[in-house]
Amino acid sequence: MNVQRSSGLILHPTSLPGPGGVGTLGASARRFVDRLAEAGQRWWQILPLNPPGLGGSPYSATSAFAGHPILIDLGEFLRSGWLSPADTNKFKAECEKFPQDRYVIDEVTPRKWALIEKAAANWRQQNGPDSPRFRAFCEEHGARWLDDFALFSALKDAHDGASWRDWSTELVCRDPDALQSARKRLATEIETIQFAQWQFFEQWKSLRQYAAERGVQFLGDLPIFVAMDSADVWANRAIFELDARGRPDAVAGVPPDYFSETGQRWGNPLYDWDALADDDYRWWIDRVDQVCRTVDLVRVDHFRGFEAYWRIPADEPTAVHGEWVDGPKDAIFDAIRSELGSVPFIAEDLGSITEEVHQLRDRQGLAGMKVLHFAFDGNPDHPFLPHTYPERAVAYTGTHDNDTTRGWYDELSEQEKHRVRTYFSSPDDQIVWSMIEGLWESDAAMTIVPVQDLFELGSQARMNTPGVAEGNWQWRMTGEELTDESVFLKLRALTERVGRHSDGRDQ
Residues in contact with 33: Cβ distance below 8 Å, sequence separation at least 6, in sequence order: 44, 207, 210, 211, 214, 216
Q: b vs e for 75-90, b when ≥16 Cβ sit within 10 Å of the residue's Cβ?
A: ebbeeeebbeeebbee
CA dist 403 to 87, 170, 328, 406, Å?
38, 45, 33, 8
Respond yes or no: is residue 348 known to be catalytic.
yes
Q: Which of 301, 307, 349, 481 is catalytic?
A: 301
Q: Is residue 506 domain-resident?
A: no
Residues in contact with 56: Cβ distance below 8 Å, sequence separation at least 6, in sequence order: 103, 105, 472, 473, 474
Give the pLDDT band (50/70/90) at residue 504: low
Give the pLDDT band (50/70/90) at residue 468: confident
| Spatial separation of the C-alpha atoms in residues 183 and 230, rounded to whole Å | 18
Q: Is residue 41 domain-resident?
A: no
Q: Which of 189, 191, 307, 348 is catalytic?
A: 348
Residue 507 pLDDT greater than 70, yes or no: no
Q: Is residue 268 domain-resident?
A: yes
Q: Is residue 313 domain-resident?
A: yes
Number of domains in the chain: 1
Determine the structural domain holding residue 294 and report its residue range: 236-366
Angle at CA of residue 267, ends 264 and 268, nearest 5°: 115
- Average the pLDDT over 113-120 and give the result: 98
Please state, for a pLDDT cut of 70, what percent of the chain lies above it: 98
The three-class DSSP label of residue 288 is helix
Q: Is residue 248 domain-resident?
A: yes
Look at residue 1 in the predicted model and tell me its pLDDT.
57
| Spatial separation of the C-alpha atoms in residues 401 and 493, rounded to whole Å | 28
Q: Is residue 167 domain-resident?
A: no
Q: Is residue 484 domain-resident?
A: no
| Spatial separation of the C-alpha atoms in residues 398 and 408, rounded to whole Å | 9
Query: 346 near 303, Cβ under 8 Å?
Result: no
Q: Is residue 206 domain-resident?
A: no
Look at the pTM and tell me if it is higher than 0.85.
yes
Respond yes or no: is residue 274 known to be catalytic.
no
Q: Which of 76, 87, 148, 401 is catalytic?
A: 401
Output the average pLDDT for the chain: 96
| Spatial separation of the C-alpha atoms in residues 409 and 416, rounded to whole Å | 9
